[in-house]
Amino acid sequence: MRLTMLTIIHIVITALAILLFSNCTAKPNLSLQAKGFFTLTDYVDENHSYGKLIILSHLESKVMYCKVHHGWENVKAVWENSEYKYFVSKHKKF
């Protein structure tokens, strides 16, 4: 089978379209910033609001002040099924 220039161009365009329109990264399930805080929904669908954007990698945790629960919480990110799930628990001193 002989490839013509037109066939090669179609293959290149198709490959580029697949690369550009496929989602290769998982984004944290954070809602948009509203009134100076960021909302996070944890694995049990409970909402939490924090003053700063939470950027965590797999098994990384951070202590943040929750404006909904008025206290400090441990936020842990876990990579599961092609997305991050967030586990939130009360900080031991709260």
3-state secondary structure the chain: CCCCHHHHHHHHHHHHHHHHHCCCCCCCCECCCECCEEEEECCCCCEEEECCCCCCCCCCEEEEEECCCCEEEEEEEEEECCEEEEEEEECCCC
Q: Is residue 30 part of a domain?
A: no
66 inside domain: yes
pTM of the model: 0.59
The per-residue pLDDT for 26 is 56
Query: Which is more confident, 70 or 17?
Result: 70
Q: Residue 70 falls within a domain, yes or no?
A: yes
Amino acid identity of 60?
Answer: E
pLDDT at 2: 64
| 11 assigned to some structural domain | no
Q: 64 lies in a domain?
A: yes
Of residues 83 and 94, which shows the higher confidence score? 83
* 1/51 Cα distance (integer angstroms): 61
Per-residue model confidence as pLDDT tens digits over 25-83: 555 554 444 566 788 888 898 999 998 888 888 999 999 999 988 999 999 999 988 88
pLDDT value of position 54: 83
Say which residue, 18 or 67, is predicted with more confidence: 67
Confidence at residue 62, expressed as pLDDT on a 0 to 100 scale: 92
Q: Is residue 4 part of a domain?
A: no
How many residues are present in the chain? Answer: 94
Domain assignment present for residue 68? The answer is: yes
The reported pLDDT for the residue numbered 72 is: 93
Domain count, the chain: 1
Range of the domain at 78: 38-90
Evaluate whether residue 54 is within a structural domain.
yes
